[in-house]
Amino acid sequence: MSDPASDPARIADGRRDLRADCTRCAGLCCVAPAFAASADFAVDKRAGEPCRNLQEDFRCGIHGSLREKGFPGCTVFDCFGAGQQVTQVTFGGRDWRRTPQVATSMFAVFTVMRQLQELLWYLTESLTLPRTEPLRDELGRARERTERLTDGSPDELAAFDVTTYRQEVGVLLLRVSELVRAGLRHRAPDRTGADLIGANLRGADLRGAGLRGAYLIGADLRRANLRTSDLLGADLRAADLRGTDLGGSIFLTQPQLDAARGDATTTIPSSLTRPAHWPTAVTPGSSRAAGPGRRRRR
């Protein structure tokens, strides 16, 4: 009998708790972080200061028109479920408005929790990937430890050195990446941390490429093949992904997709959702092939 904890289907199903549920949060992403007036935000806001668009019920007053109102940065933020974890679990349903004495602690914990929840997303994905059997026990232990950390007290979480912990887990995730991409008949060159801002990569064969932390801002990736590429931390803001094959890419997250441009022909991993602002029809310059799930060149 198989171990339920190692069942890929059950593991993938666990991602539901790693998705934001704003109905169970106290608007923490609209208060805790600071942002500066820029192309992403229409106004300045200090850390710990509620956004002017936050309503009394902790909902955004302009949620349906954030991009039009000058707040596209809000549309690409994802807390990976940290908001509801902090509100409902760490602070037992209390919020910073009704219990202002917890505000400072709550905001500090949210910053740490988001990073832990993101690590849980990567570790959960790692357990579903092919060729990772040699690391399965180690990955399982890392995921269990991270889950225990998310259940810590406010004081424990606020004092936790999450930066060092991210580095530790990052070493394990790199080993996962190497295992998944090993043995490929074709493997594009490693471009980890590369400056590819505005690069013309249209139609490029980037299968198996290491693109961790790469700056792909505004890059033309139309009809590129990124299957099995490692996209952990890659900056895809305004990257053109029309017709791009991202199926099978690893460590791609929803915020990265949301920050990019795509359309109905962009192939995305089944664990992610096609961004609402992407056109639902084929757009000029993109491939006319079918969308998610279609197999492209190998």
Distance CA 53, CA 289 (A): 40
pLDDT of residue 184: 86
Strand partners, 240: 220, 261
Closest alpha carbon to 204 in 191, 187, 223, 190: 223
pLDDT of residue 183: 78
Integer-rounded Cα radius of gyration of the chain? 20
Q: Could you report the per-residue pLDDT of 97-122, keeping only the tens digit for each?
A: 999 999 999 999 999 999 999 999 99
pLDDT of residue 292: 40
Distance CA 249, CA 230 (A): 6
pLDDT of residue 208: 95
pLDDT of residue 39: 86
In 3-state terms, what secondary structure has residue 23? helix
Q: Which residues of the chain have pLDDT under 50?
A: 1-5, 288-298
Maximum alpha-carbon separation in the chain: 59
pLDDT of residue 289: 45
pLDDT of residue 7: 56
The pTM for the full model equals 0.88
DSSP per position, 52-111: TTB-TTS-BTTGGGTTTTT-HHHHT---TTHHHIIIIIITTT--TTTSGGGHHHHHHHHH
The kind and range of the H/E element at 176 are helix 162-181
Residue 281: CB atoms within 10 A of its CB come to: 8
pLDDT of residue 17: 81
pLDDT of residue 286: 64
Distance CA 209, CA 191 (A): 7
